[in-house]
Amino acid sequence: MKKENINISLPSLKEAKIRKKVDIETIIYNLDPKYKDLGKGKNYYIFTYGCQGNEADSEVMAGILEGIGYVKSDDPMNSDLVLLNTCCIRENAESRIWGVLGQLKGRKRDNPDMLVGICGCMPQEPSATKKIIESYDADIIFGTHNRHNLPKLIYEAYLNKSKVVEVLSNQGNILEGAPKVREESHRAWVSIMYGCDEFCTYCIVPYTRGTERSRSKDNIIKEVEELVKAGYKEVTLLGQNVNAYGKDLGIDYTFGNLLYDLDKTGIERIRYTTSHPRDLDELTMRAMAECKSVMPHLHLPVQSGNNDILKIMNRKYTYEGYMEKIHRLRELIPDISITTDIIVGFPGETEEQFQDTLKLVKEAQYEGAFTFIYSPREGTPAASMPDSTPEEEKHDRLNRLIAEVNKGYLRGHEKFLGKVVKVLVDGESKNGEGMMCGYSEHYKLTHFKSTDKSLIGKIVNVKVTEAKTWFMIGELCD
Ligand code: 5AD
Ligand code: SF4
């Protein structure tokens, strides 16, 4: 058994709630030469859970690990270093992670030299960190603000044989210049900001991810220019609330300005996620309409269609205000595809209030939605609100909602029947042999007959012949 807690810094939700807008540190990644060969002759595996932000963070951690000599493995149970980049947004996200940790615990008994690291959002929660320390044999526990310290944390775990816990509950920092191992060579994530200041009452993210902080526009533009040079066709700009981009920089430059500037880099496709309806402004909507590279798809989480629930959720917009933005978007970009996130069973939600959500789903003509049953998160205001709706009723609401949402998915595909769409080819399709697939401009998964792997990473024309709920099928026209 290792000596425990030699280097220990534990999270605090109370501290994490404090928004300090001063002195947001930009850390330029600089590898201490003493760690340079730390991973030589060893391999690593990263499990990534949750949002695209975590996927982008894992690409950075993979870059850092490969920079110190580690080689990627595809067998987690037989790797020298296993990292779990975790998510705690809902209870079921956490449950899956406890399961994998249990398996790794058994594996570590046979292979005591294996290092297990837990990072990302879960360690930012005090109760989860306590459980990890008490019940699991993890060697390294770190949060969302100290990826750049990974070599040092590994070094301490190897050499001091101590359990290393470093979770900072500050406002967070901005990491620049870290190496990345990108998962794909034609589509890339580009984080443009970190953190969230919205404090929706059900959500743990503002506590785990720190305050809203934007990367400098020059660094973002440079990153996209380099991606263009490297042959990338598509970037997805990431942030918990990208529409708040720039507000913390104190300059007159917002998300809309960034879209116009990135359009000039020559990147063929720009997507972005996630948007907060309150901060979605006219300039951004215009940029979507005017910039050729900004794709005609928007994910605009609504959460609920009832004004009282929206108020208790602290969403800061109304049904009417939200619909106004939807109408304006359709005015500017008539064929836009809009998707959303919806929570059912928020504490105290009545059947009538749920009916308002169903009404909004029909009116907004969504072409897809992620739907969730409310999951209480310790430390958030909603977790202590009275909730008398039986679980069964919540599941029934979810099922009724899904039935409506699925009609939208199908409708979103049917509108392209007989039309030619441009598909950025991702690779071979899992849908059957001899098929390839990719996403159209409106973010529709499209399968077509071909075995030509040289098409991967190219944009091809596909004539849509069949529309299903989850995808479209078409014929290659080129
Ligand atoms: N319970 C259920 N869903 C949640 N989300 C965020 N927090 C919770 C929670 N406590 C959903 C919201 C958000 C999406 C990323 O996850 O719909 O938009
Ligand atoms: Fe959570 Fe709301 Fe921030 Fe989205 S905007 S991350 S739902 S607090």
pLDDT tens per residue across span 236-253: 999 999 999 999 998 999
pLDDT-based confidence at 22, cuts 50/70/90? Answer: low
Q: Strand pairing of 435-440 and 445-449? A: antiparallel
Q: What is the pLDDT of residue 14?
A: 78
Q: How far is the CA of 113 from the centre of ligand 2 (A)?
A: 39
Q: What is the pLDDT of residue 137?
A: 78
Class of domain 420-476: mainly beta
For range 268-283, the mean pLDDT: 97
Ligand 2, from 240, 322, 340: best to mutate by most atoms within 8 Å of Cβ?
A: 240
Amino acid at the residue 38: L
Nearest-atom number in ligand 1 for the CA of 203 is 7
Q: Are 84 and 197 a contacting pair, CB within 8 Å?
A: no
Give me the percent of the chain exceeding a pLDDT of 70: 97
Question: pLDDT tens digits for 38-48?
Answer: 999 999 999 99
Q: What is the pLDDT of residue 18?
A: 77
Outline where DSSP puts E strands in 167-249. Answer: 174-176, 187-191, 193-194, 213-214, 234-238
Query: Where exactly are the structural domains of the chain?
Result: 5-29+38-173, 184-295, 420-476
**DSSP state letters, 356-369:** HHHHHHHHHT-S-E
How does the average pLDDT of the chain come out, rounded?
A: 94
22 vs 264, higher pLDDT = 264
Q: Is the peptide bond before 274 cis (omega within 30 degrees of 0)?
A: yes
Q: What is the pLDDT of residue 160?
A: 72
Which residues approach ligand 2 with their CB closer than 6 A? 196, 198-200, 203, 205-206, 240-241, 276
Measure the CA–CA gap between 452 and 454, rounded to whole angstroms: 5
pLDDT-based confidence at 7, cuts 50/70/90? Answer: low
* Least trusted range by pLDDT, from 1-15, 198-212, 227-241, 311-325: 1-15
First to last CA, the chain: 62
Q: Are 377 and 383 a contacting pair, CB within 8 Å?
A: yes
Q: How far is the CA of 155 from the centre of ligand 2 (A)?
A: 35
Which residues approach ligand 1 with their CB closer than 6 A? 89-90, 202-203, 301, 303, 341, 343, 372, 374-375, 377
109 vs 3, higher pLDDT = 109
For range 196-213, the mean pLDDT: 94
For range 10-14, the mean pLDDT: 76
The side-by-side arrangement of strands in the sheet containing 369-373 is 297-299, 337-344, 369-373
Q: Strand pairing of 26-28 and 174-176? A: parallel
Q: Are 259 and 291 a contacting pair, CB within 8 Å?
A: yes
Q: How far is the CA of 341 from the centre of ligand 1 (A)?
A: 8
Q: How far is the CA of 341 from the centre of ligand 2 (A)?
A: 11
pLDDT-based confidence at 21, cuts 50/70/90? Answer: low
CA nearest to 302, candidates 329, 331, 322: 322
Question: pLDDT tens digits for 445-465?
Answer: 999 999 999 999 999 999 999
Q: What is the pLDDT of residue 106?
A: 87
Residue nearest to atom 4 of ligand 2 (CA): 240
Per CATH, the number for 184-295 is 3.30.750.210
Q: Is the pLDDT of residue 5 over 50?
A: no
Axis-axis angle for helices 282-290, 255-263 (nearest 10):
20
Q: What is the pLDDT of residue 73?
A: 97
Q: Is the pLDDT of residue 154 over 60?
A: yes
Q: What is the pLDDT of residue 167?
A: 87
Q: Is the pLDDT of residue 144 over 80?
A: yes
Both structure tokens of 393: 């009723």
Q: Is the pLDDT of residue 339 over 60?
A: yes
Measure the CA–CA gap between 179 and 61, rounded to whole angstroms: 8
Ligand 2, from 19, 88, 196: best to mutate by most atoms within 8 Å of Cβ?
A: 196
Q: What is the pLDDT of residue 13?
A: 78
Q: What is the pLDDT of residue 105?
A: 86
Looking at domain 5-29+38-173, its CATH superfamily turns out to be Methylthiotransferase, N-terminal domain (3.40.50.12160)
Burial class for 307, CB neighbours closer than 10 Å (0-12, 13-18, 19+): middle
Q: What is the pLDDT of residue 1?
A: 38
**Among all ligands shown, which has an atom nearest to the Cα of 380?**
1
pLDDT-based confidence at 2, cuts 50/70/90? Answer: very low
Q: What is the pLDDT of residue 3?
A: 44
Measure the CA–CA gap between 429 and 415, rounded to whole angstroms: 22
